[in-house]
Every structure is written in C-alpha cells, then in structure tokens.
Amino acid sequence: MTERNGDMPPGEAAEDTPQEATPQETKPRRRLLFILVPAAFGVLAAVLAWQLETGTPDKIPSALIDKSIPRFDLPPLPGWDAGLASADIEKGGVSLVNVFASWCGPCRIEHPLLMDIAAQDMLPIWGLNYKDQPKDATRWLNQLGDPYTQIGSDLSGRVGIDWGVYGVPETFVIDAEGRIVYKHIGVLTRKDWDEKILPLIEKLRQ
C-alpha cells in the first residue's frame, strides 16, 4: 500500500505532463505575440511620426526623373539673341535647367550662386523664364546679372507645365543624353550645390 502510494506520484506526473505541455508550449509563443504586436505597432507609429515631422509634403517627387526632357522651342527675351529649345539642351552635355521669374522672391536669393557657377564656366545653365513679363525679366537680368547660357521665355507657362513645374525656383540636372536626372525644388543653396548637385554632376561626367 505504501508502495502503491509511493508509486502514484510518478504515474500521475506521467499523465499530467502531456496535459501541461500544451499550455507551457503556447505560453512562450503567446508571450512572443504580446511582444511582436506592440513592437510592430511601435515601429509603424515611429515611421509615421518621423514622416510627419521630417517629410516634405510641399516637395512633390518629379515624374520626369530618368526621362528625356520635354520637347519645346521657346523664343528669346527681347534684346537676347537666342531663345531656348530642347535641342540646345540635348547638345549641351551635362547641364542645369533653372526655372526662374522676376516676380519670384526666392529666385533672387539663389541668383548669386547661379552667377558663381556661371563664372566657373563649368557647365551650361539653361534658363526657363516662367510666366514672366519679358520686360520685367530683362530688367531683372540687367540689374542682377545674367548667369544663363540661353534663356527661353515661357510666357504662358505651358512649357513649365510640361516640365512639371509648380513653383519657382526649380532646378533640374540634365545628363549628356538629355535625360532629367535630378530635380531640386525651391532655393538652391550653397550647401545643396556642394553636397548634392556638384557631386552628382561629377558622377555624371565620369
């Protein structure tokens, strides 16, 4: 009897283990779920918060990246010899296309940098004079200087729309094959030039 009683616990234990094994097995899996679900939520929330804080909804990615430049042929400003056509840009090698207007305040801020780049004579800077009165544009250029290789007068803004322009200034980097490689929206700063545009131009020229 005592023997039997002594025998019982191991017998019980042997029967209990399979029953207990199921909850014990699910427990770590459950714990993992309790960690994973909030973790996934946390990651999502962090990404969204980061986008909300640092994202630039005012800067729409260009649909034209890696595409050929739009076809156009624009007349010159009064007093300037040549207008600007897509064929000029295609022949010019790696270049910049700068969309500007005399009515655009920020254009005035980036203008000295464009003058600097032009003075280094390192690449053509094509000017797209967007929805500007030609006489205002010429006054602006005579007063501040003309950094542009050639300028096209886009009075109606139709060529600007073909380029996806929605705010001036905008600056495009064009490769030697006449494709749009990069679009900078807003004022081009010295920092943008040194850190983004210039390295890109050097890479394109290799």
Partner 1 sequence: MTMRAVPLALAALLLLALMLHLPSAVSAFSADEALDDPAQEARALKLHDELRCPVCQGQAISDSNAELARDLRRIVRERIDAGDSDDAVFDYLSDRYGDFILLRPRVKPTNYVLWFGPALVFVAGAGGLWLFVRRRRGRGAESAPAPLSAAEREELEKLSRDDPA
The continuous run of DSSP H or E covering 97 comes out as strand 95-100
CB of 117 to partner 1, least distance (A): 27
| Nearer to partner 1 (CB atom), residue 170 or residue 175 | 170
Looking up tokens 């996806």 gives: 164
CB of 126 to partner 1, least distance (A): 18
Provide the binding-site residues for partner 1, judged by CB under 8 A: 1, 57-58, 60-64, 131, 156-158, 161-164, 166-167
CB of 179 to partner 1, least distance (A): 15
| Nearer to partner 1 (CB atom), residue 114 or residue 168 | 168
Identity of residue 133? Q
Q: How many helices (H) and strands (E) does the chain have?
A: 7, 7
| Nearer to partner 1 (CB atom), residue 44 or residue 198 | 44
CB of 190 to partner 1, least distance (A): 27
| Nearer to partner 1 (CB atom), residue 132 or residue 146 | 132
Phi, psi of 133 (to 5 degrees): -70, 125
21: which residues sit within 8 A by CB, 6+ positions away?
none
Helix (H/G/I), strand (E/B), else coil: 183: strand
